[in-house]
Structure formats: C-alpha cells, structure tokens
Structure 1
Amino acid sequence: MSHYHPADLVARVAALLPEGPLTARDLAPLDQFHVGGLKATEALAARLELRPGLKVLDVGCGVGGPSRWLAELGCRVTGLDLSAPYVALARHLAARTGHDVAYVEGDARDLPFDAAAFDVVWTQHTAMNIADRDRLYGGFARVLGPGGRLALHDVCAGEGAVHFPVPWASHPAHSHLLSPQALRDCLERAGFRLLHWRDDTADALAFLERAPQTPPPLSLALLLGQGFPAMLANLRRTLAEGRAFMIEAICEKR
C-alpha cells in the first residue's frame, strides 16, 4: 500500500546524512520504526540473551534499524520487508554504517526461506497490517529450527476503535489488530510456547509524550510524510483510552 512506499526515499535521506562513518545509534531517530525507539529494541534484545553467530530473521524490517543493531551484537541477520523503497534505504544505510545485513524484498505471509533456516525470528510493529495471523506465525515457525525463538513487539486491540490515521495504517481497512488473548491463542496454534509476555503500554505512552511536536529533519516523518505528527497524536490517544495495547513477547518453538 502507498502508506509504505514513499517516493525518492534514498535520495531524500542521503541528502540529510552527514559525511563520514555512521553508527546504528546515529540513525535511531529515522530507522527505529516503532514506538519506544532504540530503547525498546535494546530491551527486547537483552531479554533474548542473544549471542554472536545466531541466525536472525527480522520480519518487517522497515529501513533496517533493529537489524543493524542486532548485527552489532554479532548476529547474522537477514531483514525482510514488503516495501521496495524501505529495502533500498536499508541497504544504503547498512553500507554507510558498515553492517553486514542481507535485505530481501518479500512478503511476511510467504517467507522465501528454507525450513529451519533461522535461530530467531524478530518482528516489531509488523503484524498489525496482516489479517491472516495463523499464516504469518505458522510461517515463522516453519523457518525456525527446533527450540528457535520468536521475539515480537506489536500493538494489540483494546476496547473501541482506533483513532485513524496511525503510523501503521491510514485507514481501518489496513489495520488488523488482535486482542492480547487472541494473539496468545494464535501463537499457540502455530506451535509456540510463551516464555515472556509484557504489557508495554505505559512505557509506550511515556515515549509518545516525550516526542517533539515538530519532528527533526532526520526522523520517521521522512517515511510517513506530513501526516506523521497527527499519526503520533492519534496513537497516543488510542493507547491512553485503552483502545489498543503495546505488547512485548518472546516465544519458543515447541
């Protein structure tokens, strides 16, 4: 959908980047495409207790912020996203930071990888756009080896309708939230055992309250356009009114 296909993205971002080497932390305001930013990525990675050499698949990698952070921890990372502009920018930014990450354009519902190809599947703020969660999580289980882990950080449905537009969808037709219990049930059906579950809504609201009214030049506004401040305001209102929850979870393939 056009929501995730901004025009001339690499050129517009490249024009704003400073010369010389860049780090994953330098790019965090732009490439950590989820509530909580780099802090949320660091926290989820710490709970996974990742070790160098693990093969990690970042599904819905966006422009590659978390995948580059995971590579910095020594993981062998592949990032997949449906958006060609995002994949192109992810590759450009990895070249600038010197991270060895393979970026693939593809559909999370039909993962183009062999069975048991990965030790970890990682996904942040991706599933909200996907209606067929059984197919999504079943695919995650397929590409994980025995005992492989799934780390997810996503939005769940609360009571009442979401206030649109929000960062993941301009219209209700593109938003497919599950209740927390429905998400747990779906993960169970896919063959996962829950290891960790945390309601991250309070931290998400605190993060959104700290967000500047006017985004800096190098920010998620480059990806989502002039409507980005309104999207953040709607998300903050949606979470504050209990219409959605922010969930962090880690599961193990049975």
Structure 2
Amino acid sequence: MTDAVARHYQTGGDLVRAIADALRTAGKDPARITAADLAGVDEFHVRGRAATLELAGFLRLDAGSRLLDIGSGLGGPARAMAEACGCHVTGIDLTPAYCAAATALSAWVGLADRVDFSAGDATALPFADAAFDAAMTIHVAMNIAAKDRMYAEARRVLKPGGRFVAYDILQGEGGEVLYPVPWARTAAISHLATPGAMAALLEGAGFTLLETHDSTAAGQLWFERLAARGSGRAAADGPALTPALLLGDDFAQMARNQVANLRERRIRTVTFVCAA
C-alpha cells in the first residue's frame, strides 16, 4: 500500500527546477521570495495557507515549541508555522522527492534552520516518546488504512498535554467519491473515515477531543475558485504554480471532481483539535 501511495505522488523530472521555472514565469526571482510566494504549490490542501494559519491558532505554538508535521509534503505548512510562530518544525513524509524539495525550498526562503524534513512512515515514526510539544496532520489520513497506528504513534511522540490537530478529508453522506481526486486516482489507495469514526479513532489512541470544526462549505468555495482559475488559463502562459506541477495533467479533472465531491457532500473537510 505504501508503494502505491508513493507512486501516486511521485513526480517526474526535477521538481525544484519546475517550481523555480513557474516562479520566474510569474515574475518572481526564486532567490528573493517569501514562504507565502510558494503557497500555490506547497500548501495544496483545501483552503491552502488560510487553513494552515487557522491550525496554528489551535496548536498554541510559541518560539520554544517543537512541532511535528506528519505527512509534510513540500513543507509549506511547516514553513508557515515556523514563520508565523517562531517554532521549530520537523516534517516527515512518505515521498523522498518531496522531502528533498521541501529542504531546498526552505533554504530559498531563509528557514532552513527552523525546519527539517525526512522520509518515513506515519504509522511507524522514527522519534522517541514525548519528543514534541505539538503535532499535526493535514490531508494525510485519506491514504492510510491503519489510522489507528498513525494516531497511536502521534500520541506516543507527544509530551503529556501536547496538542494534536488533524485536518482531513472525510467520507460524506452524499455517496461514493468521484475519482480521480488529488489524493487518489482510483479508490484503491483511498481510505476515508466518517466524522464519527475519526473521533472514535482519536479517542481510542488516547487523545482528548477538544474541538471539531467542519469547513466543508468554505472548502467548496475555495476549490470552485481554484478550478475556475485552472480552466481559464491558456497553455501558452507557461507553467503555473499550482498542484498540477505535482500531480500532472489530470489535476484539472481532479479539481473538477473535488468541486462536485464537496458540493454533493460526498466528502467533508473537518479539523479535530486534541490534547495528549
């Protein structure tokens, strides 16, 4: 299963170069950018950077905090947290190419000393018990069948009282998911839980559930705008700084399906705020 998930996210060619080319097309110098300039590609979860900063408030981070980002991707949320809160962030992701790109992008924006990234499995974290003050997952559980192991591992590496935030796409009441979607081209690597099942999994791992926030309506609006921008852009404009750089030409269909999935409530986006 982990191999199939890794293949879904595997990119062809030089990912860092592709991002640099897209920045230049947008009129930006990769040597003179901020973390926010990368948000179109490195924060490709629903609602993007705005959702990341919302999570920062739930996590209650400060300059002395050590945060673990499980499923860190290209490192956008990790950099946003480090920049906004002054904390140190460790990211772990299944895809080595993403970790390498996350490290390079962090150097571009001057945050290499406050973030680090390594490849690894969310269900078997390579960290000591009680190593972190806080932890988060952003759109990760959809690809993981063994969610009980992932949440047990997240609980293990947190200090007592540490906060854990899971912001994920969940199974809605509107029927089966329309594929392809950004996390899966077919149902074979898609493992959505319902909101009730997610709450039970988190509590079963030893977390205390503090708050739940359903952002489905806002997510639908965000994806409608993203899909509209993609369909209105001419191919001659050059490479865009969008998730298409990661997911390829079928991202346009993925975006259209996401709009339908959200509108018809086949999926929901929900944030769970927990304490260890």
Tell me if TM exceeds 0.5. yes
- Is the CA contact (8 Å cut-off) linking 2:82 and 2:89 kept in structure 1? yes
1:106 maps to which residue?
120
RMSD (CA atoms): 1.2
| 3-state SS of 1:95 partner | helix
- C-alpha displacement at 1:21, in angstroms? 2.3
Paired residue type of 1:240: R
Distance 1:69 1:213 in 2: 24
- C-alpha displacement at 1:200, in angstroms? 0.7
| 3-state SS of 1:195 partner | strand
- C-alpha displacement at 1:49, in angstroms? 2.5
1:241 maps to which residue?
264
Consecutive aligned runs of 4 or more in structure 1 exceeding 6 Å deviation: none
- C-alpha displacement at 1:52, in angstroms? 1.3
1:96 maps to which residue?
108
| 3-state SS of 1:16 partner | helix
- C-alpha displacement at 1:24, in angstroms? 1.0
Count of residues in correspondence between the two structures: 253
1:180 maps to which residue?
195
Correspondences of 1:51-70 after superposition (within 5 Å): 51-70=62-81
- Is the CA contact (8 Å cut-off) linking 1:78 and 1:102 kept in structure 2? yes
Aligned in 2, Cα 1:7/1:213: closer, same or farther, shift over 3 Å? closer
Distance 2:19 2:220 in 1: 28
Paired residue type of 1:95: A
> Is 2:163 aligned against 1:149?
yes
Deviations 1:14-64 (A, max 9, x none): 333324222111111111020101111111112323211100000101000
Larger mean CA deviation between 19-28 and 120-129 belongs to 19-28
1:85 maps to which residue?
97
Distance 1:57 1:48 in 2: 11
2:206 aligned to which of 191, 198, 214: 191
- Is the CA contact (8 Å cut-off) linking 2:59 and 2:134 kept in structure 1? no
2:3 maps to which residue?
none
Distance 1:64 1:172 in 2: 26
Aligned in 2, Cα 1:22/1:240: closer, same or farther, shift over 3 Å? same
1:162 maps to which residue?
177
Distance 1:142 1:130 in 2: 18
In the superposition, the TM-score normalised over structure 2's length comes to: 0.89
Seq. identity, %: 46
List runs of 5+ in structure 1 lacking aligned partners. none
- C-alpha displacement at 1:11, in angstroms? 2.5
| 3-state SS of 1:141 partner | helix
Deviations 1:109-162 (A, max 9, x none): 110100100011111001100001110100000000100111111011123210
- Is the CA contact (8 Å cut-off) linking 1:7 and 1:85 kept in structure 2? no
Distance 2:40 2:79 in 1: 14
List runs of 5+ in structure 2 lacking aligned partners. 1-5, 24-28, 234-238
